[in-house]
Amino acid sequence: MKQIQWILCGGLLSVIVIGTWALMSALQVTTIASSPLKKAAQVEHSVQTETPTPIIYQTHSSHLSGFDSSVNKPHEKAALSDFAESDVYIPPIVQSPSQNNTSYSGDLDDHQSYNAYLLEKEHALKHEFIAAVDKKVTRINNLLERGIRANLPEEQLQEARDKIAALKTMKAQLIEELESATVGN
């Protein structure tokens, strides 16, 4: 009886070992096939060998029917020159030098000085927001006009109007906060 138990335990142990080995082999193959380094090398190779061409795919929506027929065709490449400069939004990539050099250089034990520095930074941020609102509102207004001409749904147009109103409200609130902080000093 003990011999049968030993044989069954040995058989079970060998099944476990073989199953574990097979599972590990399968995981290694999957890991190697989808290795991030291999994918990165493929992407780097494709970036080096291919010339980037902007491809614009148009969905078949009823609200886009007013656009140029060359844009309405799916899977058709459109040249970058086909679009006006205002159609393409490219966000700024580099921060202005004044933002990079604004680290606190005073004594960290001087709490009043550090709080004044923080307050100055907060005011500068508010001024930057106020200055940026006009440009953003102009851009959203242009998009809103294009949306009206393209017969977009009223809820999308209302969303743009709400964003414009919220930006103007926030600008007014920040101006009021800055004025009250100036009067308070």
Residue 83 is predicted with a pLDDT of 57
Residues ≥6 apart with Cβ < 8 Å to 76: 56, 58, 70
Q: Who wins on pLDDT, 134 or 27?
A: 134
- The mean per-residue pLDDT over the stretch 123-149 comes to 92
Six-digit token string for 90: 């490219």
**CA-atom Rg of the chain in angstroms:** 31
Of all residues in the chain, the percent with pLDDT exceeding 90 is: 31
Q: What is the largest CA-CA distance in the chain?
A: 97
pTM over 0.85: no
Place of tokens 């009250």: 180
Report the C-alpha gap between 40 and 48 in whole angstroms: 12
Residues ≥6 apart with Cβ < 8 Å to 177: 126
Q: Who wins on pLDDT, 121 or 107?
A: 121
CA 176 distance to own-chain centroid: 31
Task: For residue range 40-96, list pLDDT tens digits in order.
Answer: 545 444 444 444 444 444 444 444 444 444 444 444 444 555 556 666 777 778 766
